[in-house]
Amino acid sequence: MQDITNQINPEELSDNLDFSALSQTGHQTFQINTGHLFMELLKKWKHYERSFLKSVVEDAFITTLAEKKVYRPIALPPEERANEIKRLSERYALHLSMIHKSTDAFPFPSFFLVEDPAGSQVIDFSASCEVGPLDQHFPLFFALQLSVIDFEAVQAFLNAQLLHSFAGDKESFSHFLSRCSRRYPALFTEVQQREVEDFCQSLSHPPSTEDRSVGKAEEPAAKGGFTLNRQVLILYYMLEHLGVNRTTVSITDMARLAQGLTGRQTASDKIKNTDIYKRLSNPLKDTTQGGFKEDLMFVRTQFERLGLTAIADQLTREINAKD
């Protein structure tokens, strides 16, 4: 993820979007949890603009946790409790002083003190707190969640949010995604933005007849025994040994390259529905009903003929692991 500037677009409307018609139902996979997000930010905060985390993200954490009254339990007698609050207040001031002196420090402390009708309360940002569309800062937390997950999980995350947070309302979710990408443009990496765009396109364009038929049967072998599965494996090993990082490169882009090289499934309207895309998503998964070892042996032979021993040796290890 690249260093981020211009984290928020001031011309976009506020986070107070109207989600009154939406309801959350059932168990949520990929539920957005502020505690999990905070722990991820502690590890990856240098990917973001420091001032953005301090001025925007910290305020969202404080507001959300205070509204939901997610407070640290302090089960002490009144006098001892007051002393504990005083100690934490002094500790907070010390943390702030250290943060101001060092640009290498996380931009805000891990807790905050707020006033409540019941007295002073402590908010721990690492505390578990689930958020949904009806929460004021849900768009920000959604964008942050999208920015910290692996790009290969983006589609599953979006599908889960569509189903559970937006009750399957494709139009509302598509509008929401558009608003998020405009309001927090730098939280969407180029690869993630492309995944989001592909997802939005899939909402408005259902799979074609050819797409729905893809995957029902293995394509016939091309001349020389080069089945689609073997061609995908060859591309996978070549890209790996060329140093392509699968965690930062879009599978969609790899699938388009495979289409161009193999000439297969090029007429598909939705590349994510093709066998090429599905196999590149998990190239070492056996989808051949027992013929995967033979595919590996075939591919190894091709690399051996070219003198590419490093790739051939890796394939030998894969083959031995199947025994």
Q: Is the pLDDT of residue 2 over 70?
A: no
Residues in CB range of 64: below 8 A, 6 or more apart: 34, 129, 131, 135, 136, 137, 141
- According to DSSP, the residues that pair with 115 across neighbouring strands are 120
Decide if pLDDT at 265 tops 50. Answer: yes
Contacts of 231 (CB under 8 A, 6+ apart): 222, 258, 261, 262, 264
**Helix runs in 28-169, H state only:** 34-44, 50-52, 58-67, 78-101, 138-148, 154-160
Q: Please report which confidence band the pLDDT of residue 27 belongs to, taking 50, 70 and 90 as the band edges.
A: very low
- Do residues 309 and 290 touch, judged by C-beta distance below 8 A? no
d(CA 221, CA 178): 42
| Ramachandran region, residue 208 (left: φ > 0; alpha: ψ -120 to 50; beta: rest) | beta
Highest mean pLDDT among 76-90, 238-252, 277-291: 76-90
Q: 131-135, 150-154, 250-254: lowest mean pLDDT where?
A: 150-154
321: pLDDT strictly greater than 70: yes
Tokens read off for 103: 């640009």
| Lowest mean pLDDT, pick from 26-40, 88-102, 243-257 | 26-40
What residue ranges do the domains of the chain occupy? 32-200, 212-322
Which phi and psi (to 5°) does residue 119 adopt?
A: 120, -175
Residue 111: pLDDT band by 50, 70, 90 thresholds? very high
